[in-house]
A and B are shown apart, each in its own frame.
Chain A
Amino acid sequence: MLTSRLNRLSPYMFMAPAAVIMAIALIYPLGYMIWGSFRDWDPSQTIGEAEFVGLKNYITLWGDPNFHESLGVTLRFAFICVIVEMIIGVGLALLLDRDIRGMSLLRTMFILPMMIAPVVVGLMWRYMYHPTVGTFNRTLEWLGLPDVDWLGQHALMSVIIADIWQWTPFIFILSLAALQSLPRSALEAARIDGATAWQQILYIKLPLMMPVLIVTALLRLIDAFKVLEVILVLTEGGPGLSTEILALRISRTATEFRELGVAAAMSNYLLILLMLLTVAMIGFTKWQEARAAKLRMANEEDS
């Protein structure tokens, strides 16, 4: 009796340390943030001294045009990045999914950008975007073309280009893996059935890759909403508010404007957004599993 109960408990015992660490590292700060978002809280005060103001921070943000602007920038940044990255990443994977000599080297080179620390990426691109000595404008000059005001007039586009450069490889390798796990013989059957290369992509490869592509896009979207370092190094959110994504605005609200409560409320808005995406992703995988299970059941019924 006792041993069997111990046996049943042992998994929980092994999990306990991890659970405790998670509670301390995740739940505690999260609780602190939610708690703080209901207060008018200055960094010089402890949280206990701060005045409780209810939903005031949330309501202020709801009507704050700067917050709207920042949210708009974040959404634009995230969606443009992910859409362009998906198109380029999947396109490259479709192009490079073949056995040609040197392809493995090429593939390795493609994923290098992903391995560079974001701050370094920011510094690199800031140098390349420099109005006078930067690589891009020097090249344009050399070609006899007019300069582009990369980090000024076209700041959001420049920031998006840097993100695309860094994260397209992520989508590339996942798509490539998905492609290479496709059933070879189904593609051969399609060739015999008369599908051209383009029709194979359209009717066989893409539909079969879709589950992986959807999860990849959602993962990237979640990540793009939280991006900070590259933009911080490149533009610090400027000029004006043109590249001030939410993560950056949160940090400025906390440090520059000294409004910890508002910053916390803003974080919670972002958190809600990310949670919606995560739920969408989990929902999608659940839906797929359910569909697979239904298929299996139907199968067992006949046999």
Chain B
Amino acid sequence: MPQIRLERMVKRYGAVEVLHGIDLEMQDNEFTVLVGPSGCGKSTTLRMIAGLEDVSSGEIYVDGKPVKHLEPKDRDLAMVFQDYALYPHMNVAQNISFALRLQKRPKSEIDAKVRDVAGMVGLTDFLGRKPGALSGGQRQRVAMARALAKDSGIFLFDEPLSNLDAKLRGQMRAELALMSQRVEKNMIYVTHDQIEAMTLADRIVVMHGGYIQQQGTPEELFKRPVNKFVAGFLGMPPMNFLDGRIEDKGGALFVTGDGFSLRLSPEKAAIARMAQNPDVILGIRPSDLSYAPEAAPETALTLKVMVSEYIGAQSVLMCQCGGQSVTVEMNSETPMALGETLQFEANAARIHLFDKTSEQAI
């Protein structure tokens, strides 16, 4: 299965540059997810790999061979579109077998393949239906089956689940994860949904404004985001950011801001000492704050609870720390009243610091 490499890939629409030199490598048999907010250039990147958009400059290599000038059909790939892109005048079986019929494969082979992939996605009873007579989830499966039937080495997905309702999306996500383990392909998956990215990816590539922000395993990105954007984009509810300053109090380093002063762990302190700019942004995930009335003040935030959102076992509290707002995840059983001021211990090992001006991680 092929390895894909993008080299300084640029896309311009007229005078507007929407991708600014993307360098990316996608390994054999790897599930890569491109994730980022709407309009950041994910689809454009994917469509350039597919050959549906011209490359303005740079090159795309598949197994070391440049493919920029090849037509989509000569690139050995299959694609699932956001709107499914089924052929409305063909029934499910014809949709699935279109590529094989163009290749003039023998009829018995085509029939076997159609039965095979239809079984895989659970469409066996619908082979005679036209797409117009299928529900959204079924259409999605047809699109998936059509791509699977092609047996190509590269599998591209452009937000394939975003037109489904929440419950179906969860179910399809699980099926997709299962399928990705079974089929050995180089899969590239585009989504704006960080949960999809976290659950499906072997490797996540976070994009923003036409640049790659960071790439790595979901765990790496979650634990060690390189900048404030990545930190805020991955994780739900999103990371809290508080403006602060690094201060030296009798040998120990503290990050101090409106309404809080936290002592940094020795490891963090060693790094923070090298920072040029004392103005920082403190980042802490809602799950890394825990209710601790007895905690020492230099390890905790004192927060005033404004709103509590009950979501089952956990509740999400919207709190106030000085003038800034902070979200906390807490066990719903903990007794607590709105308007109360409580103490939450911050997990010192999981504190993130970002430079105030560059927003890069320190």
Binding site for B on A (CB under 8 A): 183, 185-186, 188-196, 199, 203-204, 207-208, 292, 295-296, 298-299, 302-303
B71 and A208 within 8 A (CB): no
B99 and A185 within 8 A (CB): no
A194 and B99 within 8 A (CB): yes
Q: Which residues of chain B are near A196, meaning CB under 8 Å?
A: 73
Q: How far is the CA of A191 from the CA of B52 in the complex (A)?
A: 8
Q: Which residues of chain B are near A192, meaning CB under 8 Å?
A: 50-52, 72-73, 77-79
Contact among A186, A199, A203 with B88 in the assembled complex (CB-CB below 8 Å): A186
Q: A192-B78, A194-B99, A195-B102 are in contact. List 5 more A-B contacts (CB 8 A).
A: A186-B88, A203-B98, A296-B133, A299-B133, A299-B134
Q: How far is the CA of A204 from the CA of B133 in the complex (A)?
A: 19
B133 and A188 within 8 A (CB): no
Q: How far, in Å, is A296 (CB) from chain B's closest CB?
A: 8
Q: Which among B77, B130, B132 has the greatest number of chain A C-beta atoms within 10 A? A: B132
B77 and A185 within 8 A (CB): no
Q: Which residues of chain B are near A186, meaning CB under 8 Å?
A: 85-88
Q: How far is the CA of A299 from the CA of B134 in the complex (A)?
A: 5
When A and B form their complex, what is the total count of cross-chain residue pairs whose Cβ atoms lie within 8 Å? 74
B73 and A188 within 8 A (CB): no
Can you name 9 A-B residue pairings with CB atoms under 8 Å?
Answer: A186-B86, A188-B72, A188-B79, A191-B73, A194-B73, A208-B88, A295-B133, A299-B132, A302-B134
Q: Does B357 contact A (CB under 8 A)?
A: no
**Residue of B at shortest CB range from A189?**
B85
Interface string of B34-68 (1 = CB under 8 A from A): 00000000000000001110000000000000000
Q: Which residues of chain A are near B88, meaning CB under 8 Å?
A: 183, 186, 208
Q: How far is the CA of A191 from the CA of B81 in the complex (A)?
A: 13
Q: How far, in Å, is B292 (CB) from chain A's closest CB?
A: 49
Interface string of B132-175 (1 = CB under 8 A from A): 11110010000000100010000000000000000000000000
A189 and B87 within 8 A (CB): yes
Q: Which residues of chain B are near A190, meaning CB under 8 Å?
A: 87, 98
Q: How far is the CA of A208 from the CA of B130 in the complex (A)?
A: 13
Q: Which among A193, A203, A208 has the greatest number of chain B C-beta atoms within 10 A? A: A193
B73 and A193 within 8 A (CB): yes
**Residue of A at shortest CB range from B129?**
A298
A191 and B87 within 8 A (CB): no
Interface string of B70-101 (1 = CB under 8 A from A): 01110001110111111111000000001100
A204 and B52 within 8 A (CB): no
Interface residues of B toward A: which range? Answer: 20 to 34
Contact among B102, B132, B133 with A199 in the assembled complex (CB-CB below 8 Å): B102
A193 and B81 within 8 A (CB): no
B81 and A189 within 8 A (CB): yes
Q: Does B276 contact A (CB under 8 A)?
A: no
A188-B81, A302-B135 known; A193-B99 Cβ under 8 A: yes
Q: How far is the CA of A188 from the CA of B102 in the complex (A)?
A: 15
Q: How far is the CA of A294 from the CA of B85 in the complex (A)?
A: 22
Q: Which residues of chain B are near A185, meaning CB under 8 Å?
A: 81-85
Q: Which residues of chain B are near A191, meaning CB under 8 Å?
A: 51-52, 71-73
A186-B85, A186-B86, A186-B88 known; A194-B103 Cβ under 8 A: yes
Q: Which residues of chain A are near B79, meaning CB under 8 Å?
A: 188-189, 192
Q: How far is the CA of A296 from the CA of B132 in the complex (A)?
A: 7
Q: How far is the CA of A303 from the CA of B138 in the complex (A)?
A: 10
Q: Which residues of chain A are near B72, meaning CB under 8 Å?
A: 188, 191-192
A188 and B99 within 8 A (CB): no
Q: How far is the CA of A224 from the CA of B93 in the complex (A)?
A: 41
Q: How far is the CA of A203 from the CA of B79 in the complex (A)?
A: 19
A193 and B150 within 8 A (CB): yes
**Residue of A at shortest CB range from B149?**
A193
A298 and B133 within 8 A (CB): yes
Q: How far, in Å, is A26 (CB) from chain B's closest CB?
A: 38
- Pick the 8 closest A-B CB pairs, nearest first: A185-B85, A193-B99, A194-B73, A189-B85, A298-B133, A295-B132, A303-B135, A295-B133
Q: Which residues of chain A are near B50, meaning CB under 8 Å?
A: 192
Q: How far is the CA of A193 from the CA of B132 in the complex (A)?
A: 21
Q: How far is the CA of A271 from the CA of B84 in the complex (A)?
A: 47
Q: How far is the CA of A194 from the CA of B50 in the complex (A)?
A: 12
Q: How far is the CA of A205 from the CA of B103 in the complex (A)?
A: 19
Q: Which residues of chain A are near B84, meaning CB under 8 Å?
A: 185
Q: How far is the CA of A194 from the CA of B87 in the complex (A)?
A: 14
Q: How far, in Å, is B62 (CB) from chain A's closest CB?
A: 15
Contact among B51, B73, B81, B135 with A299 in the assembled complex (CB-CB below 8 Å): B135
Q: How far is the CA of A194 from the CA of B99 in the complex (A)?
A: 6
A186-B88, A192-B77 known; A292-B132 Cβ under 8 A: yes
Q: Which residues of chain A are near B135, meaning CB under 8 Å?
A: 299, 302-303
Q: Which residues of chain B are near A299, meaning CB under 8 Å?
A: 132-135
Q: How far is the CA of A262 from the CA of B82 in the complex (A)?
A: 64
A208 and B89 within 8 A (CB): yes
Q: Which residues of chain A are near B85, meaning CB under 8 Å?
A: 183, 185-186, 188-189
Q: How far, in Å, is B315 (CB) from chain A's closest CB?
A: 34
Q: Which residues of chain B are near A298, meaning CB under 8 Å?
A: 129, 133
Q: How far is the CA of A301 from the CA of B275 in the complex (A)?
A: 64
**Residue of A at shortest CB range from B103?**
A194
Q: Which residues of chain A are near B52, meaning CB under 8 Å?
A: 188, 191-192
Q: How far is the CA of A193 from the CA of B87 in the complex (A)?
A: 11
Q: Which residues of chain B are near A302, meaning CB under 8 Å?
A: 134-135, 138
Q: How far, in Å, is B91 (CB) from chain A's closest CB?
A: 11
Q: How far is the CA of A207 from the CA of B89 in the complex (A)?
A: 7
**Residue of B at shortest CB range from A211?**
B89
Q: How far, in Å, is A278 (CB) from chain B's closest CB?
A: 26
Q: How far, in Å, is B3 (CB) from chain A's closest CB?
A: 20
Q: How far is the CA of A298 from the CA of B82 in the complex (A)?
A: 23
Q: How far is the CA of A203 from the CA of B130 in the complex (A)?
A: 15
Q: How far is the CA of A271 from the CA of B132 in the complex (A)?
A: 38
Q: Which residues of chain A are near B81, meaning CB under 8 Å?
A: 185, 188-189
